[in-house]
Amino acid sequence: MAGRLLPSHKKLQQIEGPATVSLFLIAALPFLGALLPGLMVKAGRNTCATWTGIISLSALIGLLVHAPAVLRGEVIEASVEWMPLLGLNASFYLDGLGLLFGTLILGIGCLIILYARFYLSRQDPMGNFYTYLLLFQGAMVGIVLSDNILMLLVFWELTSLSSFLLIGYWNHLPEGRQGARMALTVTGTGGLALIGGMVMLGEIAGTYELTELLQMRDVIQQSPLYVPALLLILLGAFTKSAQFPFHFWLPRAMAAPTPVSAYLHSATMVKAGLFLMARLYPVMSGTAEWFWIVTLAGLITMVLGALIGIFQNDLKGLLAYSTVSHLGLITMLLGFSTEAAAIGAAFHIINHATFKASLFMTAGIVDHEAHTRDIRRLGGLRHLMPITFAISVIATLSMAGIPPFNGFLSKEMMLEAAAHAHLGENAWLIPTLATIGALFSVAYSFRLLIHTWFGPVRDDYPHKPHDPGFGMYASPALLAVLVILIGLFSQPLVGHAVEVIAASILGNGAHPHVHLALWHGVTPALYMSGVAVAGGLALLAMYKPLNAMWETAPRPDAKVIFDAIVAVVTRISNGFTDLLHDGALTRYAAIFFVFSALVSAHAYFGVDATQLTRTPIEAGILPIIAWFALIVSAACVVVYHRHRLLALVILGIIGVVVSLSFNYLSAPDLALTQLSVEVVTIVLLLLALNFLPEHTPVESGSARRIRDGVIAGGVGLGVAALAYVVMLSDFALPSIAEYHLANSYKGGGGTNVVNVILVDFRGFDTFGEITVLGIAALIIYGVTEGLLGSKVRQVLLERRPNHPIAGDEHPMMMVVATRLMLPIALMVGVYIYLRGHNDPGGGFIAGLVVAIAVLMQYMASGYDWADKRQRYPYHATIAAGVMIAGITGIGAFFNNMPFLTSDYGYFQIPPMGKFELATAMGFDLGVFLAVVGAVMLTLESLSRLAYRRGDMPDEYPMDINPSRAAVETTENEDKT
């Protein structure tokens, strides 16, 4: 691993240092810390909250350690190669924009953790809440620190999933569940669009690393894929940041606890879309498409959100729509594509986070103390809750854009930027709509302030309100102090930081000049601001008649529209699904095979005969005989497939012929594997067939059988034609086989190319395969466990066999032979395992050989005898195999190599001489154990269904039980 600390406008030069560890640790801490709350809550709520806070605070401190370097204009980078050929690396970098969002995410996160400790009741599972919060926090930190597009997309989807858990935390409330589903549906759909757009962007630039991609503005904007990529990326950003027409999901998320609402609306979830637009601003902005889409979406969202917010009666609903409006404001500024607008957007992100988080927490305090958030049932609270009132006044006036608070400064910057923005040839539309949006903002802010806090004290509150303890109001109070300090001392406190952040947004070595002050003279923005304040107060004075008009006026309900769209899409999807997926395997197979036949036919008829340049190899007599046996066996399976046992025997013949074919074509590894798999499969299938009738009943008519025969024949001909074309064609690209042959020894240290491919070149595939194999065995075990306690097992035990059962269940010759062969087979398995890297063999084949040897003990001596003597649980064997394989793969990281890359060396230990050792042996050991465990767990599971305790003697089958022998003798004499 290596870290890089460099100026953002200079060529990147890698240096060694703690940056890599630091950035990786910052990103990992919330995820690692998510394990703690569930454990610490057992020690008490204070302990749980304290440890959760320590995790977030530690990550924040780690981030702020880099702040001096970032504020000097430097960029801190950390990268570890993972899948370099796919462009997927674990890459992080920290610049001014990342520092801003990271500080907001972790800093406000610490305050939310403190606030939630006192907000949540004892009935709320605090451990779950803090776990979800840390998972969400980690996903957000991952987004803002990611340098790799693909990794950013992973974190992006994690935010949707973890926010679903947070919004639906109170899952006993229907509105909580519905709000969580709506948020997941909208943001998840946008996330799918974003994946497509970001992959397009990476393909245009030829890299998925943001630090490289952000230097390719001309290449990206001149590409024909620029507009499609832009539309998909903006769709992902707009859905996440609740921009029109996707604004409706955000207010529905208010069913979440107030700490969640405060966190999502101020510093995290909805800000992710803004971050994405700001991060890609250097290469996506400045075009007509960007200006029209982003500016209009932001402008409409700002005005519409503010208008709806005026008439909201729920405190959190009003604040939610105000968040929608302010997100639109920032989006509009980013759409202008000017330096002044970028500075205003950066500054307002800071200001909005401070006053909005404070306002949500004060709204939660009101709800917590008065037991209602309905503004119509409040009023006069300033007399009963003076501390909360003071905090709310400061934050509300900042939200309204009243001096000397910080919201005033960024609102003025917005109006100034809007005053110079033209929509086409129209110079007055944007300034007018921006002023109207600011006017509505003043109106809902003062309605929140006056209708909640002023007026006489009422005697019909649901609960007598009062100020809470210090723990609950400490967080919003600290944010209110920041609102005042930033407003009064903006330039010395955040002026330089805003400059660095704006430079990160603008990119390409921009050096904006930032001057923040409460007074900029008499400017157009001052006049627009005065009109907004006066108009907002006038609008509030006419609230009652306007509210009556609002209530009676017909208007579209976004939730109703959303529900209708979901219902229509669900109905269409169900119809399509019912058409294709009716539960009949034959229909699935028919659809799949017809499509395969069409593709094969297209490939065959689309090839020019002159391209078939390879000469077919003449076949000898033995291959022809094998081919004929294969054809006859396949035909017999078709003819006799209703005779299950006979069909299984014929399938075994086919497997043997395939094994011989592999060996004939110089693939002994595949031949050994195929033969071993055939033995294991036949035995397990025989055991499974023991529970089924001997014959398959006829269920389909003649017409369907004819149809299926035609499809099968067409598919067979199509695949044969496709194979013919492939085998006789020369391809322009060299075969990957040449690479494997050339690099098997020098790259993987083995002369057995097949084994090196499995444990090194394609080790990730093999790791996935043994994991799936283990999961399949565990599923079989789980199904068996369910059947053992059900009536199904009793039916199985009471079934009558179709033929008489042999009197000798465990023939003595078979018992003796298997006992003698067991140690030999185990030794052969070990030998095949050890030689696999250089000669035919390996962990998979060795596992099958050992599994067959152990399996034969069950067959020869019975389940009871074998089960009493097995010492290692098969579940643990599977787990050990997967873990050993995984740990071996992780070990490559310590050698600065990608996951599952093997290493090897030569050693000399007298008197053994010189020999080779490869780390692939560890991986192969994991494969070996996983295969043995999976096969034996499957066998054991199926065997237990047929096992009737007491049916077999307790000791060796060859031992004769005298009493039983006597009974059997007496019975025989009676029969005689």
- What's the rounded Cα separation, in Å, for the pair 464 and 449? 19
Q: What is the helix (H) or strand (E) element at residue 83, kind and residue range? A: strand 74-83
Nearest to 500 by CA among 73, 63, 67, 98: 73
Compute φ and ψ for 80, nearest 5 degrees: -130, 130
Q: Is residue 235 part of a domain?
A: no
> pLDDT grade, residue 298 (50/70/90)?
very high
Whether 886 is in a domain gets the answer yes
Structure tokens at 663: 């060996």
pLDDT confidence of residue 731: 66
The total of structural domains in the chain comes to: 2
Return the pLDDT at 608.
67
Q: Is the pLDDT of residue 11 over 50?
A: no
Decide if 400 contacts 536 (C-beta within 8 A).
Answer: yes
For the segment 745-760, the average pLDDT, to the nearest whole number, is: 82
Tens digits of residue pLDDT in 700-722: 778 878 888 888 888 888 888 87
Asked whether the predicted pLDDT for residue 147 surpasses 50, the reply is: yes
The percent of residues above 90 in pLDDT, for the chain, comes to: 32
Task: Report the predicted TM-score, pTM, of the whole model to 2 decimal places.
Answer: 0.71
Distance CA 210, CA 79 (A): 12
pLDDT at 975 over 60: no
Q: Which of 541, 558, 586 is the last residue of a domain?
A: 541
Instruction: Indicate the angle between helix axes 258-266 and 315-336, nearest 10 degrees.
Output: 10
* Lowest mean pLDDT segment, chosen from 1-5, 488-492, 498-502, 689-693: 1-5
Whether residue 906 has pLDDT greater than 80: no
φ/ψ bin of 660: left (φ > 0), alpha (ψ from -120 to 50), beta (otherwise): alpha
Average pLDDT (271-285) is 92
| Alpha carbon distance 521, 383 (integer Å) | 38
Domain edge (last residue) among 504, 526, 541: 541
pLDDT in tens, 202-212: 989 888 889 88
Domain boundary (492, 524, 541) is at: 541
**pLDDT score of 400 more than 60:** yes
pLDDT band at 17 (very low <50, low <70, confident <90, very high): very low
Query: Is residue 215, in this structure, part of any structural domain at all?
Result: no
Does 765 fall in a domain? yes
Per the CB < 8 A criterion, the answer to whether 399 and 360 are in contact is no
Q: Residues 198-204: what's their mean pLDDT?
A: 92
Domain that holds residue 338: 296-541
Could you tell me which residues come within 8 angstroms of residue 814 by beta carbon, excluding any fewer than 6 positions away? Answer: 859, 860
Predicted confidence (pLDDT) per residue in 724-740, tens digit? 877 877 765 667 777 88
Is the confidence at residue 941, as pLDDT, over 50? Answer: yes
Q: What pLDDT score does 581 carry? A: 76
pLDDT for position 875: 85
pLDDT tens digits for 69-79? Answer: 899 888 888 88
Identify whether the C-beta of residue 345 lies closer than 8 Å to the C-beta of residue 506. no
Q: What is residue 557's predicted lDDT score, i.e. its pLDDT? A: 72
Mean of the pLDDT values across residues 307-324?
91
Please check whether residue 214 lies inside any domain of the structure: no
pLDDT at residue 809, rounded to an integer:
67
- The yes-or-no verdict on residue 21 having pLDDT over 60 is no
Helices 470-488/339-370 angle, 10° precision = 150
Per the domain annotation, does 684 fall within a domain?
Answer: no
pLDDT band per the 50, 70, 90 thresholds, residue 446 = very high
Best CA proximity match to 106, nearest among 169, 4, 30, 190: 30
With beta carbons less than 8 A apart as the criterion, state whether 41 and 126 touch: yes
pLDDT for 274 equals: 93
> Residue 966: what pLDDT?
40
pLDDT digits (tens, 9 = 90+) for 170-186: 888 888 888 888 888 89
Q: Please give the structure tokens belonging to residue 719.
A: 């695949």
How many Å is the maximal CA-CA distance in the chain? Answer: 124
Bigger pLDDT: 949 vs 856: 856
Whether 961 shows a pLDDT value over 50: the answer reads no
Closest CA to 762 of 71, 85, 147: 85
User: What digits encode the pLDDT tens for the residues 592-615?
Assistant: 888 878 877 777 777 666 667 777
Residue 799, pLDDT score? 61
What is the tens place of the pLDDT at every residue in 812-829? 888 888 888 888 988 988
pLDDT at 329 exceeding the cut of 70: yes
Average pLDDT, the chain: 84
Question: Does residue 225 fall inside a structural domain?
Answer: no
Give Cβ neighbours of residue 147 (< 8 Å, ≥ 6 apart): 77, 79, 91, 92, 93, 209, 210, 211
- Is the pLDDT at 421 greater than 90? The verdict is no
pLDDT band with cut points at 50, 70 and 90 for residue 974? very low
In a domain, 647, yes or no: no
- Residue 5 in this model has a pLDDT that exceeds 90: no
**CA separation for the pair 381, 386 (Å, rounded):** 8
Q: Write down the pLDDT at residue 798.
A: 62
Q: What share of the chain in percent tops pLDDT 70? A: 91
Residue 946 has what pLDDT? 63
The full 3-state SS of 525-565, as one line of letters, equals: HHHHHHHHHHHHHHHHHCHHHHHHHHHHCCCCCHHHHHHHH
CA pair distance 777, 86, nearest whole angstrom:
32
DSSP state letter for 790: S
**pLDDT, tens digit, 9 for 90 and up, residues 330-359:** 999 999 989 899 999 999 999 999 999 999
Tens digit of pLDDT for each residue in 529-552?
Answer: 899 999 999 999 998 889 888 888
Comparison of pLDDT for 675 and 807, the residue scoring more: 675
